[in-house]
Each structure stands twice: as C-alpha cells, then as structure tokens.
C-alpha cells in the first residue's frame, strides 16, 4: 500500500518548505522510495529539495491536446513517454512537477489519460508527498482521491487561519478521502494568540504543532540554498521533525 501525504496552504506560509522537509524526514527514517509531487502551479519544491527539472506533466497534457489527427503515436503512448521524461530521479526520492493549470478548451480526454498513467506510475512508490496549491486544482483533477495524511499550513494571523479553514473545508467539498487531517501553524513569533486559538477551537481544526519563525531558514532562502538540507540546528526543522515523528512515521509503522 502507498502512503500519501498532502500539504496545502496559502502562499507565503512556508508549506513548500515543510513538504520538502517531510520528504527528507521520510528518507532519513528509511521510508523509501518516495515520489515528491509538486502540484502547485507556482512550482518551488525542486528548489527546496535541491533538484532541477526540464519537463512538467502539464506540457504532456498540452502536447496531447494539440496532437489531434497525428497518428504517428497513440495518445496513451505519448503521455506515458512524457510522464517518464518528467520524473526526475534521485537517490531516495524522485520528483515530478505538475506545472501550469489548464488553458482554454476541453482537457477531459487529456486529463483522463494522464490520470490513468499517473495511477500506474504512483504504484511504484510506497510513499508520496504532494505539495498542493491552496485551490488544489491538480489534486482534484489528476492525482490522489485518497490521502493518508493531509497537513494544512498557516501562519499565526487571523487572515492566515481564515484561509487555512477554507482549505480545511475544501478537501471535504472535493470528496477527497483523508485518514488524518492536521493543522500546522508556521513561522510563529512568540506565542500563538488567544484569538487564533479561539478560531482553531471554533472551527474544530486539529492543531498538531507550532513551528517558530527561524532566521536560519530565512538565510538559506536568501542564499538560494535547499532548505530541506538543514539539520536540527534549525529550531524550525527541529519542531517540524517532531511533528513528523508523531504523525508520519508512527502512522507508517
């Protein structure tokens, strides 16, 4: 069985960094091989993991959509080929980038074939970490309809919690079956306010951990260094790893 971990949050909450740290933590604990899926149209997971990519799955979809009438290769074969080209291989984990959302016109056939190919491909990985955008277009159309663990990442502001609550409810509207759903408050300076705690309690969100604002991560970002390479010397990494210890590895075991 494949363990699927999803991560979502509005822009600026640090959810892509946490997705990369989840990949690294699973690898460190021997939970391999892992497929890291960048399903955010503003793709940054490769930078966090210290990887580069040349192709995206959206390119494969666009190519298939525009290849009507070309009988030199079947659409299924084309998508299969392009999907394999889009997967960047690493030692313990691979990466695939979904790319940009759909353009104009109907993508039903392209999405159907791509979804089938993805389903076959994903079965090769016992662990998957999916970095979603807030709207989760890709997850609703092309990837998992089930997730074992889903993290909603927010900052400690009222506006951030409001956005996180929308995402919290959106997965139910999309009818994505989730075994465990958790809230992470990231980039916290000082203590979480009583107002924020009140929102979390009122909306019945399961707060699993608080991650402090961390100058080490900020400096790594500023210097273009892969933040997933940071160690427990970083207070944020230490806090995140404790969250993953409680929710990822224990559940996987």
Contacts of 190 (CB under 8 A, 6+ apart): none
Contacts of 57 (CB under 8 A, 6+ apart): 82, 83, 86, 96, 97, 98, 99, 114, 118, 142
Inform me whether the pLDDT recorded for 98 exceeds 80. Answer: yes
4-38 b/e with 16+ CB inside 10 Å = b? bbbbbbbeebbbbbbbbbbbbbbbeeebbbbbbbb
Inform me whether the pLDDT recorded for 94 exceeds 70. Answer: yes
**Structure confidence at residue 119 as a pLDDT band (50, 70, 90):** confident
**Extended strands (E) in the chain:** 3-8, 34-39, 93-97, 127-132, 146-154, 177-188, 207-212
Q: For strand 127-132 and strand 3-8, is the pairing parallel, antiparallel, or unpaired?
A: parallel
* Whole-number pLDDT of residue 144: 58
Instruction: Report whether 58 contacts 110 (CB < 8 A).
Output: no
**Structure confidence at residue 129 as a pLDDT band (50, 70, 90):** very high
158-204: pLDDT as tens digits: 888 998 999 999 888 888 889 999 999 999 999 898 988 999 999 99
* Residue 26 φ/ψ, nearest 5 degrees: -60, -45
**Structure confidence at residue 217 as a pLDDT band (50, 70, 90):** very high
The superfamily in CATH containing domain 3-252 is: P-loop containing nucleotide triphosphate hydrolases (3.40.50.300)
**Structure confidence at residue 102 as a pLDDT band (50, 70, 90):** low
Least confidently predicted of 97-106, 166-175, 208-217: 97-106
The mean per-residue pLDDT over the stretch 227-231 comes to 94
DSSP 141-172: HTS-SEEEEEEEEE-SSHHHHHHHHHHHHHHH
Average pLDDT across the chain, whole number: 86
* Whole-number pLDDT of residue 109: 58
């Amino acid at each position: 069985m494949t363990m699927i971990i999803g991560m979502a949050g509005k822009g600026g909450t640090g959810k892509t960094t946490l997705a990369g740290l989840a990949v690294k933590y699973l690898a460190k604990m021997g939970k391999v091989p892992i497929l890291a899926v960048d399903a955010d149209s503003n793709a940054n997971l490769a930078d966090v993991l210290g990887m580069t990519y040349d192709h995206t799955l959206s390119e494969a979809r666009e190519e298939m959509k525009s290849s009507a009438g070309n009988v030199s290769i079947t659409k299924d074969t084309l998508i299969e080929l392009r999907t394999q080209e889009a997967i960047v291989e690493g030692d313990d984990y691979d990466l695939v980038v979904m790319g940009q959302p759909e353009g104009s016109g109907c993508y039903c056939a392209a999405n159907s074939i791509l979804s089938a190919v993805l389903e076959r491909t994903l079965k090769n990985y016992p662990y998957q970490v999916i970095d979603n955008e807030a709207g989760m277009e890709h997850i609703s159309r092309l990837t998992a309809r089930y997730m074992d663990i889903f993290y909603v990442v927010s900052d400690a502001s009222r506006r951030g919690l409001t956005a996180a609550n929308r995402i919290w409810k959106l997965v139910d509207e999309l009818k994505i079956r989730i075994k465990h759903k958790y809230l992470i408050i990231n980039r916290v300076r000082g203590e979480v306010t009583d107002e924020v705690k009140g929102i979390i309690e009122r909306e019945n969100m399961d707060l699993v951990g608080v991650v402090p604002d961390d100058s080490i991560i900020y400096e790594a970002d500023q210097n273009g260094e892969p933040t997933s390479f940071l160690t427990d010397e970083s207070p944020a990494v230490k806090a995140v790893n404790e969250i993953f210890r409680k929710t990822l590895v224990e559940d996987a075991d």
